[in-house]
Amino acid sequence: MEGQYSDKVMEHFRNPRNVGEIADADGIGNVGNPVCGDIMRLYIKVDPKDEIITDAKFKTFGCGAAIATSSMVTELVKGKTIEEALKISNHAVAEALGGLPKIKMHCSVLAEQALVGAINDYLKKHGKPPIAKNFKDEHEA
């Protein structure tokens, strides 16, 4: 099983970054996949002055790939503006992890959906319109 995952996926699975909650989060994204059972919750803290994401944490119930993609998306998003963060695709998350098996690409889609959900929660709280984004996984089996 382990051989199908890159070393970076295994590293983020064994030693995930940014696990936990942000009590006073500016945005929270919740997603789940009923087919595989993965559930992700992503928290972001945003500096309202320049809309830079200053912190991100996650809680994920799921497989190793779900945990690794959650960990990686929190690393990728920190220090980015809301606008820059919205450009982080599921493929960018998978690529940053050194790739994912085709059957696990849906985990990177969940990470992207959780991020957009957290950003939309932030935008809603600040009276701004949500971002509509089409999520697709061209590598899905």
Alpha helices in the chain (DSSP H): 7-14, 64-77, 82-85, 90-96, 105-125
Q: Which of 10, 19, 36, 39 is catalytic?
A: 36
Alpha helices in 45-104 (DSSP H): 64-77, 82-85, 90-96
At 41-74, the pLDDT tens digits run 999 999 999 999 999 999 999 999 999 999 999 9
Say whether 107 is catalytic. Answer: yes
Look at residue 36 in the predicted model and tell me its pLDDT. 77
Interstrand relation of 27-32 and 52-61 (parallel, antiparallel or unpaired): unpaired
Look at residue 35 in the predicted model and tell me its pLDDT. 77
DSSP state of 19: B
Q: Which amino acid is at 93?
A: V
SS3 26: coil
Task: For residue 44, give both structure tokens.
Answer: 């972001």
Q: Which of 25, 107, 109, 116 is catalytic?
A: 107
Task: For residue 89, give both structure tokens.
Answer: 């695709």
Task: For residue 123, give both structure tokens.
Answer: 């935008």
Check: CB of residue 75 under 8 Å from CB of residue 18. yes
Task: For residue 103, give both structure tokens.
Answer: 């059957």
Look at residue 37 in the predicted model and tell me its pLDDT. 86
Check: CB of residue 77 under 8 Å from CB of residue 85. yes
Say whether 63 is catalytic. Answer: no
**Residues 123, 28: Cα–Cα separation, whole Å:** 11
Enumerate domains of the chain plus CATH numbers: 2-124 (3.90.1010.10)
Low-confidence stretches of the chain (pLDDT < 50) are: 1, 138-141
Look at residue 138 in the predicted model and tell me its pLDDT. 46
